[in-house]
Amino acid sequence: MHTLKIKRFSWPAFKDHFGNFIFIVPALAIFSVFYIYPFFEIFNLSLYEWNGITPYREFIGFANFGELMQDKVWWASIWHAAFITLIALTFQNALAFALALACDRQIRMKKFYRVIFFIPPILSEIVVGLVWQWLLYAGMQDGQHIGLFNYFLNKIGLPHLVHNWLSDPQTALTCIAVVHSWKGFGWGFLLLLAGLQTIDQQLYEAAKVDGAGPWNVLVHITIPMLLPVIVVVMILTILGSMQVFVLILSMVGQGLVYHTEVPVTRILSSMTRTNQFGYACAQGVVFGMILVAASYVLRQISNRMKQE
């Protein structure tokens, strides 16, 4: 016979649970004020026209979103971020994979390489951006190029390649993407190398017995076994690269230029330059949804691949 369990209120049990709950109160308090409240507030504010200063704000419904759809600079900025992400996904991750493969063997100085490759990732975007901006500096004095890169190009007999790398719309975004990759490849290298080292050596032995060449080993053993790690690296790369912006601020300066705008710099300038707080929030909401959709699709694909 089933006995119906009725939870009777008991004072000791209540006291016990309440005492336990106290443990999460500090975390919950900070989290509610500084994460949950802004999370809902960004949706709320996106429906207003507001300069961020005056107490009065005008409710305008979805007008900010309508305006955003027409905003050519905004959609260009998304394309710019996508371009940086594309470079990071291909160039940066291919480099990371090649380096990880090169290090996944008994090789001298393996530890040394590992330590060095992880130096750029620990530096701040401000430091990286300002150092590279100096290397790519386009100024001249007494007919001499001051920036090392242009000086070097001139010296090795390629003076026609010398130019203003960071203000020329043709090259600025590519330079940013390359520096971003320089800063980031150490992550992929580290995660992929760790993944490679978990692959069962017996698989390689078996392949050797079967007479498989290096290419076959790579395509039929290494890559399939590494797939979960590759997916993690790809998701981290996409979410990280789409939201890059501090690097851009430090490389091309705070007076933002159209051809290096990305979504987060657009949000920032709606907020701090034109004082359109509602519009900035609408941009944040739309961009956040794009990112959530992108990572959802990636996770679905990775789950599908795992089942096969």
Partner 1 sequence: MWDPYKTKNSLKSIVIHAFLTAVALTCLFPLLWMIRSALMSNETIFADQSLIPAEFKISNFYYAWTEGNFGGYFLNSVIYTTSVVLGIVVVASLAAYAFSRLEFPGKNFFFYLFFGAMLIPLPGSFVPLYVLMNKLGLVNTRIGYILCMINVGLSVSIILLKVFFDKMPPDLENVARIDGCSKIGVWWHVALPLARPAIAVVVIYNSLNVWNEYILATLLLNDKSLMPLQRGLMVFQGTHSVDYPLLMAGLTITAAPIILVYLLMQKHIIKGLSEGAVVGETAFLKSH
Of residues 86 and 289, the one with the C-beta less far from partner 1: 289
Per CB under 8 A, the segment of 58-66, 82-90, 157-165, 278-286 that binds partner 1 is: 278-286
119 binds partner 1 (CB under 8 A): yes
Q: Write down the least CB distance from residue 228 to partner 1, Å.
A: 7
Q: Name residues contacting partner 1, limited to 159-178 (CB under 8 A).
A: none
Interaction of residue 35 with partner 1, rule CB under 8 A: yes
Among 73, 94, 146, 305, binds partner 1 (CB under 8 A): 146
Nearer to partner 1, 84 or 191 (CB): 191
Q: Which of residues 38-57 bind partner 1 (CB under 8 A)?
A: 38-39, 41-42, 45, 52
184 binding partner 1? (CB under 8 A): no
Q: Is 91 in the site for partner 1 (CB under 8 A)?
A: no
> HEC profile for the chain?
CCCCCCCCCCHHHHHHHHHHHHCCHHHHHHHHHHHHHHHHHHHHHCCEECCCCCCCCEECCCHHHHHHHHCHHHHHHHHHHHHHHHHHHHHHHHHHHHHHHHHCCCCCCHHHHHHHHCHHHHCCHHHHHHHHHHHCCCCEECCEECCHHHHHHHHCCCHHHCCCCCCCCCCHHHHHHHHHHHHHHHHHHHHHHHHHCCCCHHHHHHHHHCCCCHHHHHHHHHHHHHHHHHHHHHHHHHHHHHCCCHHHHHHHCCCCCHHHCCHHHHHHHHHHCCCCHHHHHHHHHHHHHHHHHHHHHHHHHHHHHHHC
Find the shortest distance in angstroms from Cβ 167 to partner 1.
14
Using CB under 8 A as the binding rule, the residues of this chain from 59 to 88 that contact partner 1 are none
The nearest distance, CB 2 to partner 1, in angstroms, is 24
Q: Find the part of the chain contacting partner 1 (CB under 8 A) among 64-72, 160-168, 169-177, 268-276.
A: 268-276
Q: Which of 11, 107, 157, 210 binds partner 1 (CB under 8 A)?
A: 107
